[in-house]
Each structure stands twice: as structure tokens, then as C-alpha cells.
Structure 1
Amino acid sequence: MLRSLDIRDILIIDRLELAFQPGLNVLTGETGAGKSILLDSLGFVLGWRGRAELVRSGVDQGEVMAVFDLPDGHAARAVLEEAGLPVEDELILRRVNTKDGRKTAWVNDRRCSGEVLRALSDTLVELHGQFDDRGLLNPRGHMAMLDDFGNHSKDLDVLRRQWRAVGAVRKTLEQAEADLAAVRAEEEFLRHAVAELDTLDPQPQEEAALDAKRRLMQGAERIREDVSKALAAIGYEGAEGLVNDATRWLEGAADQAEGRLTGPLEALLRVQDALGEAQAGVEATLEALAFDPSELEHAEERLFAIRALARKHEVLPDDLGGFADTLREKLTAMDQGEGNVADLRAALAAEEKTYGEMAAKLTAKRQKAARALDKAMAAELAPLKMERAVFTTEITAADAGPDGQDAVVFTVATNPGAPSGPLNKIASGGELSRFLLALKVCLTAQISGITMIFDEIDRGVGGATADAVGRRLAALADGAQVLVVTHSPQVAARGAHHWRVEKRVAKGQTTSAVVPLDEVARVDEIARMLSADKVTDVAREAAKSLIMDK
């Protein structure tokens, strides 16, 4: 319950303290007196998004403080616990707005965010403004209203999680199918490239070895003739033969040379050894230079094939083996991807089946809630002088989504035999207000501990109909707290507590004040509402009659 509202320096309010009570609290006053400012101020401290500039002209900041009573089990306690804020029987909300637009909020003297304020406000206050029936006219909000009435929040949470699970599997499947399609698009290339690489089977460092072998064989033809000549020159027909002859001749003369030829003979022996070593090396070289011309042709063909394949795939020759492994992996992934896609399709079908079952159960619950809501609305419309009207909650099939596969629309038929249709096409302004009141009463019947505020809910009605609205508001306030901003004397007369909002001008400044009314002042205020500016004795008697009739 809202216990008090303290407003300082907000718009044309300099300082205002209001102490609200249980039951029906009524605020009246001339148009433009500042009744909407009270609601703006309350909305500000509750974190609602409203006017951008609230600070009264000439001051640095404005401030609003609201005090609520929180009985045990109140929904606001859970919000406070989740936010890590103190939980007490008294909830104090305070919010400051500086003239440069900065906003700061406190909950029980602890700083908090606007998001926390808004979460708390959902459990503390429900506002039904004079244009709130526009929400009733929008079919997009009808299903949410029905779900609130049927208390389907847990079912919706579970269904939304399942919808997200379906979406996650579907997204994974779509990506897997796209990947598989991309691989399949190049399947022919992959298989041809792998076969080509497997046939050639290039080895690491093979390109460098083939290039060296090729260059050696190409150079062999040019140097073989010279090497052969050199072998002949140092062989038996050349230097070896001459050295042998010289050695033989010197050995024949050595006995008569008295030792003078010993050194030369030893040198010639060394020359013979060196010639033999040189001859062996040259012969080995000639043997290495010997090749089959077809071998050069084969080496060149393989070398050119390796280099051409490397250019084709834009890799280094030594990387062809690894590149072939990569292509094989893609083909393997394609084969595995087909199985993966099949598994994902089965998983998606299972998730969609589970979703369908959950959605069907929610549809059944909505249909049951719709029948209960229609029955409750019929009971609420009768006291509001609309006993002949028929309110129907229509549920039709719709595309699947996070909130199920239903479309919900509220339709009405205001007279027997008349066709039903959307509210905005069938109901008049006064009828819309009463439909709204009846619907809000039905939707809040199971909610306890919340303050309901009605801003000119009685617009467009008068006489007996306004009296019926006032009686329903008074009944709604029995055991609860209802705040009503009204221009209807019939509604004002039903209030248990009455305040008048008035404008005052002092020293060239206009301010708004709220005055609590005693019984005498209340009679005068309701008489003013009945007879406009001039309050007559007849009007006072009529006001007293309205008050006593409650």
C-alpha cells in the first residue's frame, strides 16, 4: 500500500506531502490544476519513463519520495532480495532529478538503478490512465492480458526456453547444411585434385632433388668429353705410360749412377701413386656422368609435373603433400557432414515436437482461461450498466513463436443480436472506459498488495453510469487501496478519502497544492463538480445526497 508521497520542486509543486489511506482515495480539481503532475511525480520515483524536464524553474534539483507498506509475502520483497537491497516492512523510494537531467535513486537508503525501480513498481502500483484503453484496443497486447489472468507465466517461461532450443538447433542445422552445400559444390574438384595428387604422389624435398639431378645430367654431356680426354692423358697411353717408361729407364741406369737416381726414382713412385688416385677419381666421375637419356627425360617430366601442380593450387612444391591431406579432410568432412545433417534434422524434429506439445498444452490453458475471463467480464459488466453487452475472448491458430501458436483478440457485442467485433469499432468512448475498468478488475482480482490508480477512468460517462463506475471502484477498493483522479461527482462521492488539487498564484509564481477535505469541504467540492464554478444550495444538497447514498 502507498502510505505517503513527498514531492519537492517538481514542475509547479514546491513542497507537497500526501498521506494516503486504504480504500478509495479520490483526487479532484479543475483541469490544469496539477493532478497529472502528481501522477508524473509518482511515476518518476517508480522509475517510469515520462517527462524529460521535471525540475521546478529556478531550483537546482527536484526530489520525490514514496513510502510503501510491505506485508509478509509481498512480491516486492523478492525483487529487493534479488537486487541485494534491504528488505523491511517499510519500503522507502527516493529519486532526485537535477536541472541538468541527471537522475539518482535510492531504495531504503541504498543507491539503485532505474531498472530496479521499474521492477519494484510492477509489484507496487498499477496505473490505468485516461488513454489506457488504447492498450485494450491493440490486439497485440490481448494475449499478454489473458496470460496474466490465467497465471501462465511459468508455462510461458518453459515454452520460451523450448523455443530458444528449437532456434539454436535450427541455426546449427542451417550452418551445417550451408557448409555441406559449399563442400558439395566443390566435390568434383576435390575428388579430381586428390586423385591427381595421389597419382603423382610428390614427396618432401623431391622437387629440389629432381632439379639437382636434372642439372647434373644436363651438364654431364658438356663435360664428359673433356673428362675422357683427361683420363686418356693420365692413363697408360699418356702420363702413366711415360712415367712407367721413365722409371724403367732410370732403374736400368741406377746401378751405375752411384745412388744419384734414388731420389728421382722415389719421386716417380709417388707420381705413379698420385696418377693412380687421379685415374680412379676421373673414372668414377665418368661412371657418374654416364646416364640413360630417357632418365633425363623422366626426371624433367616429373619435375615439371610437380611444379605445375604447385602453381595450379598456389602452394609450394614441398607443401603438396600437406595440401592433399587438407583436401582429403574436406572430403571426409563432407561424408561425415551428411550424417551430421541427418542427426541435426532428427534433433530439430524432436525439439519441434516437444515445442508443439508444450504449445498445445498452453493453448488448452488459454482456452480455459478465456472461458473464465469471459464469465468474469460478464459479472463485472452488469454492475456497470452493460448487462446486455457480451465480451468474448477469441483464440485462433497463429504462426509458432516464443509465446506459442495462438492469436488472442478481445471482441464485444454491445447489444443482443448485434455482431461482435473489435472494441475500437464497436464500443463508444464511455463503453470503452467501462470495458477497461471491468477488464482491469478481472485481471487484478488475484493480485494482492498492489495500489491501483485510475486516471479519469470515468471519462465519457455520466449520470447512472458514472454512479455505477463509482460503486465498482468503491467495491474494488474494499480491502485494498485505489487512487482515482476524477471529474465525476458520482465517482468522487464514493471516496473514503478526498483531496482537492488546486492552483495558487503568489508573488508572480504559480504553484500546485493538494488540500485534504473534511466533510464540509468535501460537500462544497462535489457541489462545485455538479454545478461548475457557482456553488448553490441546491448543488450542496445534491452533493450531500450523493455522499449519503454510498
Structure 2
Amino acid sequence: MLRALEIRDMLIIDRLELDFRPGLNVLTGETGAGKSILLDSLGFVLGWRGRAELVRAGAGQGEVVAVFDLASNHAAWGVLREAGLPAEGELILRRVNTADGRKTGWVNDRRVSGEVLRALSDTLVELHGQHDDKGLLDPKGHRAILDDYAGTDAALEGVRKTWRGVGSARRDLSTARAALEAVRAEEDFLRHAVAELQALGPEEGEEAVLDARRRRMQAAEKIRDDIAQASAALGYEGAEGAMSGALRWLEGASEKAEGQLDAPIEALVRAMAELDEAARGVADCLDALDFNPADLEDCEERLFALRGLARKHQVMPDALPGLAAELSARLEALDAGEARIGGLEKALREAEAAYDAAAQALTAQRREAALRLDAAVAAELEPLKMGRAVFETEVVVGPDGPEGRDAVTFRVATNPGAPAGALNKIASGGELSRFLLALKVALHVEAGQGVTMIFDEIDRGVGGATADAVGRRLKALADDGQVLVVTHSPQVAALGAHHWRVAKRVEGGMTLSEVVPLGAEEREAELARMLSGDTVTEAARAAARALLDG
């Protein structure tokens, strides 16, 4: 709720302090007295784009302060938190306009941009009238208004959920197709490389084993002849035979040598044992060095094949088994890709069908609510002397989205047979204001939701019973909240819970505007003036009293 508005040096206002209250607040006064300046000033502190020159002539700067009382769950606190501002206590907006055109705003003494002020404005105030370019006149918000009226929360959540499902299925399919296309681009390479690797069948560590074996066989060719000669020298035709002969001779002579040959014979026996061990070792070595020359060729061929394939793929030979597994997996992905694409396409069709069903259910709910809303608005237009006008909530197919596929527009025709058009294009002046009031009442949008509603000359062009109907509907809207109305109608003004008169005065050769709160007697006098003009008659006073008595 707007609790206070302070204006200093704005247009023809030098200093003004207003304390607003809950309920229906009415502002009256002669044309040109400055009522629109109040709205311009309020719009200025809320960041609205309006007049370029607002500073009072002769003043260095103009300033407007607006104080709001808000519930703890009011949407404005969320705007403040998002902007990194304190979100507690009362809400005080202040904005200054210097004579050279610079504008500076504050929220609770923290400097803010006009963007933040405008974001707060959307949660604090609704202006309804011929200059309304937000709220009910903005087609962008009509679908949300209809949804609030229809109570589509559950259906909307269902549509959003299925829309997310469609998005997820589309992303999965797109990713899989891109991956498949990337693999397809190298299909020939993969098939050839996998076949080549599988034919070779490389094993981890194989290159080191082959290299060692090859070196052994190459070395064996060089040393085998020497070792064979050594083996022959150690054998029976060589050292073994000579030592055996020597041992026989010594043993034959030992009986006559009286023990002198015993030690040499024992030493010779030991030497022959060592000689035998050496001969066996050399023979074993010869056996190990014995290989088929074809084996060396095979070993070298295998080793060269491994190293050549490694160079071709620019990896180490030991990495060939891992490369074979990787390329085989990619080839398998290619072969399985079509089947996976088919499954993902099916999942997308199912997700789209789920979305379509949810969107159709939401459309049906919106269309049914649109008919109810049209009937409710028509019922409100009748007492506002617009019974022949037509209000239509148009629900047409639009692009699919997270909130369905419906485009919603409020359309009107002011006269029978006339083509219908958008609310903000067809209606004008008093008609527009009454359309907005009828729609507002039909929607049951109450000021008690924390938004101060302002109606600017909603009674333009009407009087009598129609003006009374306008006033009673404004009063109904204000019963649980706050409504400000600028009016020239005594019937509307009489229904206000609080009344201010806007008037001009001349001071020091300068025209200034003032706003005065009215008590019971002052209200009667103001209503009488509105009824009779400059000359207030007793009949006008009696009529004013009758209006105030209801």
C-alpha cells in the first residue's frame, strides 16, 4: 500500500505531503489544477518514462519520495533481494531530477538504477487509463491474466514438465546424430584400421620380448662357432680324453710309486669333475644357441610389422592393443548407431505426444475460462452503459513453448457489427477506462494483493447512473486494498473513503498546485462544486449530501 507521497519542486508543485490510506482514495479538482502532476510525480519516483522536464521553474532540482507499507511476502522484496538490496522494514523510494536533466534514484537510501525502480513499480502500482502501456493493455500479459483467472497452475506445471521432456529428448537425439555423423565420416578408415589391427593381433609388451629374442639370435650366429670349438676342446677328443688317459696311466703306476701318486691322482679326479661340469655348461649353451634361421626371419618380420603399424598410427608399439580396442568400440558404435537413433526418435515422438496432450488439455481449460471471462465482463459492461459493446478473449494457436501453444489477446468491439480489435487499439478515453474496470472486476483482482491500483479519469464521458456504477465497482475493488482514482464525477467521488482536492493558487506571481485532504463539510462543498460549477447553489449542496448519504 502507498502510505505517503512527498513532492518538492516538481512542475507547479513547490512542496506537497500526502498521506494515503487503505480503501478508495479520490482526487478531485478543476481541469488543469494539477491532478495529472501527482501521477507524473508518482510515475517519476517509480522510474516510469514520462515528461522530460519536471523540475519547477527556478528550482535547482525536483524530488519525489514515496513510502510503501508491504506485507512480509510481498513480491517487491524479491526484486530487492535480486538487486542485492536490503529486503526488510518499510520501503522508501526517492528520486531526484536536476535542472539539467540528470535523474538519480534511491531505495531505502541505497542508490539504484531506473531499471530497479521500474521492476519494483511492476509489483507496487497498476495504472489504468488511456495511457496504460502495461498491465491489462499489454497483450504480452493477457495469457498470464487468463491463467490466473482459470486457475491453470496444475495444467501449466504439466505442460512445463512435458516441454522439458521434449527438450531433453531433442538434445539426446541431436547429440547422437552428431556423434553418428562424426563416426560415419571416418567409417572407411575405421574398418580398414580395425581389420589391420585384428589381423596383426598385437599384445601388450610383445615388442620388448621380440626385440630381446631377436638380439639373442643375432648374437648366437656370431659366437656359436667359438663355443663349439671350445666344446670340442673340452670333450673326449680334447682335454677330457687327455686327462682320462693320464688318469689311467697314473693309476696303473700308483701301486709301485709307494703312495707318491695318491695326491696327484685325487687332484686329477677333482679336475675331471670340474672339467665335466664346464663341458656340460658349454653344451647347454650350445643347445640354447641352436635355432632355426627361419625363426630369426619370423621374429624380425613380426617386430618390424609392430613398429611399422605403431608409426602409422603415431603411437608406441605397446599402445597398439589399446588403440585396437578403442577403434573397435568406435566401429561398434557406428554399427549400433542406427538402432540407437531409432530408439531416440521413438523417445522424442513419445515426449512430443505427451506435450501435445498436456498442451491440448491446457488449451481446453483456457478456452473454457475465456468464455466465462467474456460473460463476466459482459455482465459488468451493462451497468457501465456499454451493454452493446463486445469483449472477447481470443485464444489462438501460437508457437509451442513451456507454457503451451496458445496466444491470448483481449479484443473488443465498441459497437454492434464493428470489427473487433485489440483492447488498446479499439477503445479510447472513457470507453477504455470502463473496459478496464469491467475486466478488473470480472477478474476479481483485488488491491489487497499488495498492488495499489490507480484509475486516471475512468469516468470520462459518463455521468448519472453510469458514473455511480463506476464508483461502486471501484469501491468494491478497494474494499480489501487500496485504489486511487482521479475523477471529475461527483458520483464516483462520493463513494471514496478518503478525499483530496487539487487546486491552484497564485503566490508571488507564481502559479502553484496544492492538495488538501477534505473533511465531511469540505467534501460536501467539493461535491456541490462538481455538481453546479463555480456558483454553488443550495440545491447542489442538497444533491451532494444525498450522494454522500448513499
Q: When the two structures are superposed, what TM-score results if normalisation uses the length of structure 1?
A: 0.73
* Structure 1 residues 224 and 142: CA distance shift in structure 2, 3 A: same
Q: Distance in 2 between the 1:265 and 1:417 partners?
A: 146
Q: CA deviation at 1:213?
A: 0.7
Question: Does structure 1 conserve the Cα–Cα contact (< 8 Å) formed by 2:173 and 2:344?
Answer: yes
Q: Distance in 2 between the 1:129 and 1:428 partners?
A: 9
The one-letter amino acid of 1:236's match is Y
Q: CA deviation at 1:419?
A: 2.7
Q: CA deviation at 1:14?
A: 8.2
- Residue aligned with 1:400, SS: coil
Q: CA deviation at 1:143?
A: 2.1
Q: Distance in 1 between the 2:276 and 2:453 partners?
A: 123
Per-residue Cα deviation, 1:3-29 (whole angstroms, up to 9, x for no partner): x71467999898946252534544665
Q: Distance in 2 between the 1:401 and 1:340 partners?
A: 27
1:228 maps to 228
Per-residue Cα deviation, 1:372-418 (whole angstroms, up to 9, x for no partner): 33333333334444444333332222222122122223333333333
Q: Distance in 2 between the 1:409 and 1:480 partners?
A: 23
1:471 maps to 468
Q: CA deviation at 1:457?
A: 4.5
Shifted more, 176-185 versus 364-373: the winner is 176-185
Q: CA deviation at 1:368?
A: 2.2
2:409 is equivalent to residue 412 of structure 1: no
1:73 maps to none
Shifted more, 393-402 versus 13-22: the winner is 13-22
The one-letter amino acid of 1:30's match is G
1:144 maps to 144
The one-letter amino acid of 1:500's match is R
2:280 is equivalent to residue 276 of structure 1: no
1:369 maps to 369
Q: CA deviation at 1:303?
A: 1.6
Q: CA deviation at 1:445?
A: 6.0
2:128 maps to 128
1:442 maps to 442
The one-letter amino acid of 2:158's match is V
Question: Does structure 2 conserve the Cα–Cα contact (< 8 Å) formed by 1:129 and 1:457?
Answer: yes
- Percent sequence identity is 45
* Structure 1 residues 10 and 403: CA distance shift in structure 2, 3 A: farther
* Structure 1 residues 505 and 93: CA distance shift in structure 2, 3 A: farther
The one-letter amino acid of 1:5's match is R
1:109 maps to none
* Structure 1 residues 277 and 447: CA distance shift in structure 2, 3 A: same
Q: Distance in 2 between the 1:151 and 1:300 partners?
A: 83
Question: Any unmatched runs of 5+ in structure 1?
Answer: 52-56, 71-75, 83-90, 106-114
1:153 maps to 153
Matches within 5 A, 1:356-395: 356-395=356-395
The one-letter amino acid of 2:367's match is Q
- Residue aligned with 1:537, SS: coil
The one-letter amino acid of 1:476's match is R
Question: Does structure 1 conserve the Cα–Cα contact (< 8 Å) formed by 2:128 and 2:433?
Answer: no
The one-letter amino acid of 2:473's match is L
2:354 maps to 354
2:305 is equivalent to residue 301 of structure 1: no
Question: Does structure 1 conserve the Cα–Cα contact (< 8 Å) formed by 2:490 and 2:531?
Answer: no
Q: Distance in 2 between the 1:288 and 1:498 partners?
A: 121
2:291 is equivalent to residue 324 of structure 1: no
Aligned-residue CA RMSD (Å) = 4.9
Question: Does structure 2 conserve the Cα–Cα contact (< 8 Å) formed by 1:214 and 1:300?
Answer: yes
* Structure 1 residues 373 and 428: CA distance shift in structure 2, 3 A: same
Matches within 5 A, 1:533-548: 536-537=534-535, 544=541, 547=544
* Structure 1 residues 529 and 92: CA distance shift in structure 2, 3 A: farther
* Structure 1 residues 11 and 173: CA distance shift in structure 2, 3 A: farther
Shifted more, 130-139 versus 270-279: the winner is 130-139
- Residue aligned with 1:404, SS: coil
Q: CA deviation at 1:331?
A: 4.8
The one-letter amino acid of 1:537's match is T
Question: Does structure 2 conserve the Cα–Cα contact (< 8 Å) formed by 1:396 and 1:406?
Answer: yes
Kindly tell me the number of residue pairs found equivalent between the two proteins.
508
1:30 maps to 34
* One of 3, 13, 19 as aligned partner of 1:5: 3
Question: Does structure 1 conserve the Cα–Cα contact (< 8 Å) formed by 2:44 and 2:64?
Answer: no
1:86 maps to none
Q: Distance in 2 between the 1:451 and 1:262 partners?
A: 132
Matches within 5 A, 1:92-107: 93-95=90-92, 103=107
The one-letter amino acid of 1:278's match is A
Q: CA deviation at 1:353?
A: 2.0
1:266 maps to 266
Question: Does structure 1 conserve the Cα–Cα contact (< 8 Å) formed by 2:374 and 2:393?
Answer: yes
Question: Does structure 2 conserve the Cα–Cα contact (< 8 Å) formed by 1:231 and 1:282?
Answer: yes
* Structure 1 residues 502 and 194: CA distance shift in structure 2, 3 A: farther
* Structure 1 residues 543 and 21: CA distance shift in structure 2, 3 A: farther
Question: Does structure 1 conserve the Cα–Cα contact (< 8 Å) formed by 2:35 and 2:502?
Answer: no
1:108 maps to none
1:167 maps to 167
The one-letter amino acid of 1:275's match is L
Q: Distance in 2 between the 1:210 and 1:519 partners?
A: 114
Q: Distance in 1 between the 2:159 and 2:364 partners?
A: 14
Q: CA deviation at 1:296?
A: 0.8
1:20 maps to 21
2:203 is equivalent to residue 203 of structure 1: yes
Question: Does structure 2 conserve the Cα–Cα contact (< 8 Å) formed by 1:33 and 1:503?
Answer: no
Question: Does structure 1 conserve the Cα–Cα contact (< 8 Å) formed by 2:468 and 2:492?
Answer: no
Q: CA deviation at 1:295?
A: 0.9
Q: Distance in 2 between the 1:137 and 1:127 partners?
A: 10
Q: CA deviation at 1:498?
A: 0.9
Question: Does structure 2 conserve the Cα–Cα contact (< 8 Å) formed by 1:493 and 1:546?
Answer: no
Shifted more, 448-457 versus 170-179: the winner is 448-457
Q: Distance in 1 between the 2:106 and 2:535 partners?
A: 51
Per-residue Cα deviation, 1:282-328 (whole angstroms, up to 9, x for no partner): 22222222211111111111122222333344444334334434444
Shifted more, 130-139 versus 141-150: the winner is 130-139
Question: Does structure 1 conserve the Cα–Cα contact (< 8 Å) formed by 2:7 and 2:16?
Answer: yes
Question: Does structure 2 conserve the Cα–Cα contact (< 8 Å) formed by 1:33 and 1:502?
Answer: no
Per-residue Cα deviation, 1:207-255 (whole angstroms, up to 9, x for no partner): 2111111111111111122222222333333333443444455556555
Q: Distance in 1 between the 2:384 and 2:541 partners?
A: 23
Question: Does structure 1 conserve the Cα–Cα contact (< 8 Å) formed by 2:381 and 2:435?
Answer: yes
Q: Distance in 2 between the 1:167 and 1:266 partners?
A: 99
- Residue aligned with 2:399, SS: strand
* Structure 1 residues 21 and 277: CA distance shift in structure 2, 3 A: closer
Shifted more, 443-452 versus 477-486: the winner is 443-452
Per-residue Cα deviation, 1:91-135 (whole angstroms, up to 9, x for no partner): 984457799977459xxxxxxxxx9xx99996x875436632455
Q: Distance in 2 between the 1:262 and 1:226 partners?
A: 36
Q: Distance in 1 between the 2:529 and 2:324 partners?
A: 96
Question: Any unmatched runs of 5+ in structure 2?
Answer: 52-58, 79-87, 97-103, 110-115
The one-letter amino acid of 1:171's match is R
Question: Does structure 2 conserve the Cα–Cα contact (< 8 Å) formed by 1:194 and 1:328?
Answer: yes
Q: When the two structures are superposed, what TM-score results if normalisation uses the length of structure 2?
A: 0.73
The one-letter amino acid of 1:168's match is S
2:454 maps to 454
The one-letter amino acid of 1:150's match is A
